[in-house]
Amino acid sequence: MTSDVLITTQGALGRIRLNRPRAIHALTRAMCEAMSDALLEWRDDPAIQAVLIDHAEGRGFCAGGDVVALARSGAGDGSEAAAFFHAEYRLNHLLFTYPKPTIALMDGITMGGGVGIALPCQVRIATENTRLAMPETGIGLFPDVGGGWYLSRLESRVGQFMALTGARLDGAECRYLGLATHYVPQSALPDLVERLAAAPARAAGAAGNFAGVPPTARIEQNMADIARLFAPDTLEEVIAGLEAEDSDWARSELATLRSKSPLSCKVSLRLLKEGAGRASFEDEMRAEYVLACRVVHTHDFVEGVRALLIDKDNKPDWKPAVPEAVLDETVDQLFAELPPEEAWTPFPEIA
């Protein structure tokens, strides 16, 4: 057990509270394993009827994984990074297949690994403070933790837009796109938790009772442009379309896109294209594990983490620096299957 995750029960409600506030609750391997242990224990426990995941304090639900530690591992043999991804993806898959109601309170920053533990939940609460994003292309990674599954299934190419640009969505936008099932004012969350504890088996109904009407989603006015300009499956075509568009929005998104790792953007587009056709979430996790184990060794990941999170100069030196220089063979090598003995596997209990 780790103090970075608080595991308790409140009546018939199992509670998982992320408790690493100085890191905005960024996930470690120990945290993932502690959450999985609790979920597996409660899975067949008739005394637990539902599970609530939130954070204990601080300004965000979960900022992602501990990518600095992953980059340090990737600069070496990568074994610790592989172990983290294996544990994290098992947790993601366990939540995706969980037989009891699960509820995530996505209050505040919800990014990367935080998205990975929120989106599998049946009830997903956004608030006026929610800021949800998959910003991985900015650090040389890709939208993992099921991003290839979830983002590829969003309407009007919004998933591709999110994956490439790392766009931050507020609570109203999350509700509009279906990433959140309910929009609840932050001030109502304590009462909602009490209601959930009183009747955990009726989680969706409880959330509905406290739900408010969200503001107009800002992204709604850009949906047609996103559908059109992010329709191509090649990065070069997306960039060309934005370059040809005479609007402030297109110029802003183009500038954002040009700041991202070209290799990561190409990997992300291919992941979403393949993810749209995958038959199961287990297959998605297996494919993303292959990518994750390889991408942590790339120059762009180690450099992206250095530039944005360690030195914080915000000047990553991407190699290659332009999309045209990223070879198809390079991307193919990242997607190549691992030997069977190294492949990701779900928990035996739910395989």
The gap between the terminal CA atoms of the chain, to the nearest Å, is 24
**What's residue 351's pLDDT?**
65
The tens digit of pLDDT for each residue in 5-35 reads 999 999 999 999 999 999 999 999 999 999 9
- Tokens, residue 295: 């991408």
The tens digit of pLDDT for each residue in 207-216 reads 999 999 999 9
Is 269 within 8 Å of 233 (Cβ atoms)?
yes
**What's residue 57's pLDDT?**
82
The tens digit of pLDDT for each residue in 294-313 reads 999 999 999 999 999 999 99
The tens digit of pLDDT for each residue in 236-292 reads 999 999 999 999 999 999 999 999 999 999 999 999 999 999 999 999 999 999 999
What is the arithmetic mean of pLDDT over 104-113?
Answer: 97
The tens digit of pLDDT for each residue in 72-82 reads 999 999 999 99
What is the arithmetic mean of pLDDT over 225-242?
Answer: 98
Q: DSSP state, 309? A: I
pTM, entire model: 0.97
**What's residue 1's pLDDT?**
55
Count Cβ neighbours within 10 Å for each residue of 55-73 and write b for 16 or more, e otherwise.
beebebbbbbbbbebbbbb
**What's residue 55's pLDDT?**
96
pLDDT beyond 90 at 221: yes
Band (175; pLDDT cuts 50, 70, 90): very high
The tens digit of pLDDT for each residue in 180-208 reads 999 999 999 999 999 999 999 999 999 99
What is the arithmetic mean of pLDDT over 221-230?
Answer: 98
Query: Which residues have CB under 8 Å from 54's CB, separation 6+?
Result: 15, 16, 17, 18, 61, 104, 105, 107, 193
- Amino acid in position 31: M
Residue labelled with tokens 């996103």: 226
* Active-site annotation, residues: 65, 113, 136, 144
CA distances from 264 to 95, 132, 162, 229, 268 (A): 27, 19, 13, 19, 6
Domains of the chain (ranges, CATH numbers): 5-350 (3.90.226.10)
**What's residue 124's pLDDT?**
98
Partner residues linked to 5 by β-bridges: 18
Band (59; pLDDT cuts 50, 70, 90): confident
